Structure 1
């Protein structure tokens, strides 16, 4: 069963910060890395993210278990660039017919893979340390987001684990009816596409029923809603956002300086 509940120690220094502050810090630290193609900047960012991980109360094993889809993305980027990259500059390392691997290709692939990890890890850390209900409350109170949007997003976020269960149930039901691809890769691809379509149809139907039920319970009313749990944005939360901005600026500055002095050192 897939879980989206927080897995961090609740008393960790950064885990108990305001959810809006954690989301803002993650966005500031991640989006600034999109300004450079140098692999040095995302490498420094990953080192910083792993260094502050204990402050969020997350174990490295738990992070690896949650971030495994990033490994698939990295493998896909590497294979795609090796096969279809237009820039084949640098020293040739492997020449096997249509597959030509050079140092330029590997450097480009390394930069993109590191950037994927550096941009995605803050989001993984934030949502692994934040309760969805607290996030919805913070969006309403601190960001002044519409209650309809925040509570709807909370309901959708709560339904995410059902996708994995639905996929398993559809697959088992089809296998029980004798629908199995066996060892045929083409049949497996077709079965995957049909299962994904069935999952999409079920998700749309469930979302429609949920929207009608929420409207029937007054979630679409224009009257102001009361707040049961206060989410305060304190000075420590502002310092978290400022610290993320400072670290991002320091990372970019180090990358720029390294790129400036690299030709002098070579």
Structure 2
């Protein structure tokens, strides 16, 4: 799950012990800078860098390792084709790399290597940003992130913990939906076949799901009110989120390696 979820797919590793804000402060500036880049080499280099950070710094399960090593590259390759199809060949320089390579042709329309490279550059930027987001998302729980925001950045605890309570509704909705579906099957309610029947059955689940959500929200509100949540300007934290020396080292090291990698790629391409 993401950093906003309660659980995490990583059970250990150096990244897991870092402060939640450190794992955001390191990658986020790089993610913003990548949005402004053009070309293939830079996003490709940072996608590989982010993947190495995850594989070395987080003890990921086999499923997530396969996603990083196989899923993300396949996603970028296919997405590159999707973006490249919409590239206007007239906007490309005549001497653009791959302009003479025809990958596909339909009548007079040609899909060239230059068009694919333009689409691949965009797809690689998205892939690199996703992998950089995974540095925090796969090693941080929602509770850890909220605690860090409240204790380090002084976000009002009323806002932080209320948002956390709201986010915990999402997995509960999934459980409630399965319970409602099981109850309908036990009662012999047939959803029928075909897209119309599927849509009608899905809409029919909305009312009981909404009623369950309202009941759960009422219980949460009563529990928060019984604990005098929001009655005081500050609250006693059960778990303290600390910013340690290792967090500073990680952020500065991440920025330094990113700057050196950026310079090396730009120098090699120039």
TM bracket, shorter-chain basis: 0.7 to 0.9
Give the structure 2 partner of residue 40 of structure 1: 41
Are residue 216 (structure 1) and residue 225 (structure 2) matched?
yes
Q: Select the structure of larger CA radius of gyration.
A: 2
TM-score, length basis structure 2: 0.74
The answer (yes or no) to whether the contact 2:143–2:164 under 8 Å persists in 1 is yes
Larger displacement relative to structure 2 (169-178 or 108-117): 169-178
Displacement of 1:83 in angstroms is 4.2
The alignment's C-alpha RMSD in Å is: 3.9
Unaligned runs of 5+ in 1: 261-266
Judged with a 3 Å threshold, the aligned counterparts in structure 2 of structure 1 residues 110 and 76 are, in CA distance, closer, same or farther, namely: closer
Aligned residue pairs: how many?
Answer: 256
Unaligned runs of 5+ in 2: 93-98
Give the structure 2 partner of residue 58 of structure 1: 59
Partners of 2:122 and 2:223 in 1: how far apart?
42
Partners of 1:145 and 1:226 in 2: how far apart?
15
Mapping for residues 62-141 of structure 1, pairs under 5 Å: 62-64=63-65, 74=76, 77-78=79-80, 80-87=82-89, 89=92, 90-91=99-100, 92-97=102-107, 100-141=110-151
Displacement of 1:170 in angstroms is 6.3
Larger displacement relative to structure 2 (154-163 or 236-245): 154-163
Judged with a 3 Å threshold, the aligned counterparts in structure 2 of structure 1 residues 256 and 148 are, in CA distance, closer, same or farther, namely: same
Displacement of 1:45 in angstroms is 1.0
Are residue 249 (structure 1) and residue 259 (structure 2) matched?
yes
Partners of 1:29 and 1:236 in 2: how far apart?
20
Displacement of 1:239 in angstroms is 1.3
Displacement of 1:76 in angstroms is 7.1
Partners of 2:241 and 2:161 in 1: how far apart?
15
The answer (yes or no) to whether the contact 1:33–1:119 under 8 Å persists in 2 is yes
